[in-house]
Amino acid sequence: MAGTVNARLGETEKQSDERYGLPTAIAPTPGSDKTIRYEKDGIKISCEFVKDKCLRITYEMTPWEKLREAKFELIMQSEGGSVWANYQGGKPNEYARSDRLAIAVKQRDSITFMLNEWTKLYDQAVKDQAAAKKAAEKAAEHERLKKLGREL
């Protein structure tokens, strides 16, 4: 199990496929080009890719105790020898990688690792969606008023 549950941030889609097997689902997500879902050794894995680079990965298992049995400490290690630890000012379930380029958040049944780069892209995607919605609403209102003017 230890070989399957290390954080693999930065890997390509091909590397993830080799590590986890055939995807169980592929979908677009805000902030990412696509999210690929896998399942291996009873763990559900979601990898979010931007330009063929995994910027966010979530490992999920119910109940969390099973994941703890899979050696939580191993999950908190990544290939470069980086160390994950609680960071000053963070919540007890939040961790930072020793190089400060990534964070991890442990939830009840999952743990998510993300490069800071993903957080910026996600925040921008949310802003872009809000701006597009506002522009569409404004255009619809303009058309409604235009139609109303023709009817008068």
Residues in the chain: 152
Closest C-alpha to 99, from 122, 75, 115? 115
Are the C-beta atoms of residues 44 and 61 closer than 8 Å to each other? yes
Are the C-beta atoms of residues 33 and 41 closer than 8 Å to each other? no
Instruction: Read off the pLDDT of residues 3-27 as tens digits, 9 standing for 90 and up.
Output: 334 558 889 999 999 988 999 999 8
Say if residue 35's pLDDT is above 60. yes
- pLDDT score for 14: 94
Among the ranges 33-42, 68-77, 124-133, which has the highest mean pLDDT value?
Answer: 33-42
Cα(4)–Cα(21) distance, rounded to whole angstroms?
11
Q: 11 or 122: whose pLDDT is higher?
A: 11
Instruction: Read off the pLDDT of residues 50-105 as tens digits, 9 standing for 90 and up.
Output: 889 999 999 887 665 555 555 455 555 544 566 777 777 778 888 888 888 888 88
Give the mean pLDDT of 118-124: 78
Are the C-beta atoms of residues 67 and 43 closer than 8 Å to each other? yes
- Residues ≥6 apart with Cβ < 8 Å to 39: 20, 24, 45
Q: 36 or 96: whose pLDDT is higher?
A: 36
- pLDDT score for 75: 56
